[in-house]
Chain A
Amino acid sequence: MAQRLALQRLLSFPTRGPLASHGRAFGTSAGRRSTFNVQDGSDFQDRVVNSPKPVVVDFHAQWCGPCKILGPRLEKLVAKLEGKVLMAKVDIDDHTDLAIEYEVSAVPTVLAMKNGDIVDKFVGIKDEDQLEAFLKKLIGA
């Protein structure tokens, strides 16, 4: 227990050093492991486009009310799939060029990506059933 906590403290919120630019928040829940915040364009290339697993990309913004509902809802369902699907979050104010490149116009926009291709997409809020179907299709297809 103590070892695990020490490891957490060592790895969480680095502000300096080689890990600072990645800023990954590590945690103990499966949900946090399968969800991450995209840091920049090359991070998106590495962890989304080149991901061996399918990735759900959640384009969101601070000023977007529906995003604040959809985000946690989607995250919860992705966590239930225990690593079969990953979730990448992109704040469009921080990564405007990336969002524009992927033709996002309204938020939330969620892309389903597999082997670097966009295989599915939706815009706006969805309920849990609709999200489950969306995720199922992504894994199944």
Chain B
Amino acid sequence: GKNEYDLLVIGGGSGGLACAKEAAQFGRKVAVLDYVEPSPQGTTWGLGGTCVNVGCIPKKLMHQAALLGGALKDAHHYGWNISQPVHHSWSVMAQGVQNYVKSLNWGHRVQLQEKKVKYFNIKGSFSDPHTVRGLTKAGKETVVTADNIVIATGGRPKHPTHVAGALEYGITSDDLFWLKESPGKTLASFILDVSLECAGFLTGIGLDTTVMMRSMPLRGFDQASTEYLTSPYLANKLKDRFDYFYLLKKKCCRAPDTKTLNLETIGVKTNSETGKIIVDASEATSVPHIYAVGDVTEGRPELTPTAIAAGKLLAQRLFGQSSELMDYDNVPTTVFTPLEYGCVGLSEEAAVQRHGSDNIEVYHAYYRPLEFTVAERDATQCYMKMVCLREREQRILGLHFIGPNAGEVIQGFALGIKCGATYPQMMKTVGIHPTCAEEVTKLHITKRSGLDATVTGC
């Protein structure tokens, strides 16, 4: 047609890059725009989006740094001769993490090049439904036209503009991962999983950290599980202080990056409260030939794997004669706090709401990781819960696990739940011994019974 590209993707993050590369596989002419608006503190980064640069990747690496600190503390119980106290250097850790992230930025550039996807480092905005224009850093205007456009601009932390000094003195995750020097004593506010994770590893590497929150953390996650994450976590790990501050009415801490896209002009509808782009089950927006994937879309999980999968499937539907839609049900995820929380499926609250408390059975257990015993580590927060339907085959609706390596534990069970696994099937699954995960296969105490759910020895 008259448009220059078959597909233009705005946003070079998890969803955008996956969509672009998949479309290119079908021999289509594809372009990607990526641009990082510097944070108020001036932080910026390369290609790859939030996950690679200021999310999943640096977060998990710094979480690992903190875990190693914990392991060093345990080590003497296991016979290691390590002189205490052990010191941590932020700048050494940060350099290692930042170097790895830069190698990923490079890797993405190479991949785009190899797949013949055209890359523009420009901040684009729509001038009509098939035209996007933008300025390069040098101020040169570029115009790109395409038959199909995918908006995958993600989100950015939202600064509380009505809190005096927040903009000048506050930093967000955008800045934290790129600091060359230690942040020192930190107050982490506005509780999202990412803030708890950051507060967690900052504490783990020895920094004085306080968490400030309004009411409950991690809204939307299973309540009991997240309470274990925060209250004893705060009591034990954050210097026995736990301050509640009634601060803000709005809970939203990350906002979609759509302000400069000029969506109103071309009629792409967004949610009036969140600002996120409204899409249907096929990721289509209110404007034909314009789609959206990832964190920028309303009602979707803010996760890299769902953005990637949605982006790929979209490309397959657009150019590959596929009709498969993205399945957003039973998406597993994990919060990488010092003691991790992994889950898949429904929380107890959601299950009760959907089926009624009489129609569900909640199995739970307090367990103790073997590794904690000799190390004399507190295991009171190690907890798991399985929510099942009560009737007929007793299908498993949700699984929740708090403990070490929660992500690794839950990943395998996610397959079972995807396949419609039932409680009897889980009971027939033999556990691997000795692991924490095996306790999932042995869950049998119900909340309803009121019995003590502590796992006894083997």
Contacts and interface: CB of A to CB of B under 8 A. Distances in A.
A105 B105 CA distance: 12
A45 B409 CA distance: 54
A103 B46 CA distance: 19
A61 B103 contact: yes
Nearest to B106: A92
Nearest to B98: A63
A96 B102 contact: no
Interface residues of B, number: 11
Nearest to B105: A93
Contact of A63 (B100, B113, B114): B100
B110 interface: yes
B102 A93 contact: yes
Contact of B102 (A63, A100, A105): A63
The number of chain A residues touching the other chain, given as a range, is 10 to 19
B109 interface: yes
A129 to B, nearest CB: 29
A29 interface: no
B103 A105 contact: no
Give the most central of B103, B106, B109, B110: most A CB within 10 Å. B106
B110 A100 contact: yes
A100 B105 CA distance: 13
Contacts of A100: 109-110, 113
A62 B110 CA distance: 17
B99 interface: yes
Interface string B80-120: 00000000000000000001101101100110011000000
Contacts of B46: 93, 96
A56 B106 CA distance: 22
Interface string A36-65: 000000000000000000000000011110
A62 B102 CA distance: 9
Interface of A: 61-64, 92-93, 96, 100, 103, 105, 107
Given A61-B103, A93-B105, A105-B110, 19 more contacts: A61-B102, A61-B106, A62-B99, A62-B102, A63-B102, A63-B103, A92-B106, A93-B46, A93-B102, A96-B46, A96-B106, A96-B109, A100-B109, A100-B110, A100-B113, A103-B113, A105-B113, A105-B114, A107-B106
